[in-house]
Amino acid sequence: MIAPSQKPLLILQTGHAPEPIRRAHDNFPQMFIRQGDIDAQQVVIVDLQAGERPLPPENYCGAIITGSRSMVTEHLAWSEEAADWVRLGMLQELPMFGACYGHQLMAYALGGEVDYHPQGIEVGTHEVSLTPDGHLDPLVSQLPAQFAANLIHLQTVITPPATAKVLAKTLHDPHQILRYGPNAISTQFHPEFSLAVMKTYLSWLGSIAEDDHVDFAHQAQQLSETPISRSLLLSFVGALGKRQALAG
């Protein structure tokens, strides 16, 4: 839990979960609050697509950047403004955690290349493996060498920023966790997605999919709980609480 503080945690909402997922599990910010064991009273949610904009980074104890059904390569106005905000946050060493779209947005903002993955969609519960840098990272090194994580993405970080460290990978995607500085990290996978959320997502995807190259029913059968990937989010939130206590 984040200790009471004058500075709230910012959740930059970059999109909305599809209606069937929202109906069953609420929206992306609420998933982070639930899976991150975050006190909702200590959170400010800013819905970028709705025209809301965050205050300057110094007004927050940290920031979480959500996933989205938009694409970073669309260069939407709100997304480009969010990239500028990320760059300001980095200058101030604000603790930041991005997932999926948030991961790609942070990488793009800091000089990386984002585009559609050459091998197409990565979806389901898959094994993530730490890299040598991951084993040395103060946060990620607390995780096992291999662990399960939930993924749904078409775009990816093709080339990380020159100053970033790659901390984990899957067979499909070599850039699953990136470290940008002492306080900024992002994941291509979704630590905020529970098993129940993934089951609903794959059921929905299977009902609308036009691509018969992906067997969503088979992927649904391979789903599992992902407590280790969730623990990375919990560790980030826990570190925020410790920083707050020291600052207070």
| SS3 letters across the chain | CCCCCCCCEEEEECCCCCHHHHHHHCCHHHHHHHHCCCCHHHEEEEEHHHCCCCCCHHHCCEEEECCCCCCHHHCCHHHHHHHHHHHHHHHCCCCEEEECHHHHHHHHHCCCEEEECCCCCEEEEEEEEECHHHHHCCCHHHCCCEEEEEEEECEEEEECCCCCEEEEECCCCCCCEEEEECCEEEECCCCCCCHHHHHHHHHHHHHHCCCCCCCHHHHHHCCCCCHHHHHHHHHHHHHHHHHHHHHC
Of the pLDDT bands very low, low, confident and very high (cuts 50, 70, 90), residue 235 is very high
Average pLDDT over residues 29-40: 98
Pick 123 or 244 by higher pLDDT.
123
Average pLDDT over residues 86-112: 98
Of the pLDDT bands very low, low, confident and very high (cuts 50, 70, 90), residue 248 is low
Q: Tell me the per-residue pLDDT of 152-177, one tens digit each, with 9 for 90 and over.
A: 999 999 999 999 999 999 999 999 99
- What is the per-residue pLDDT for 209? 75
Does position 234 have pLDDT exceeding 60, yes or no? yes
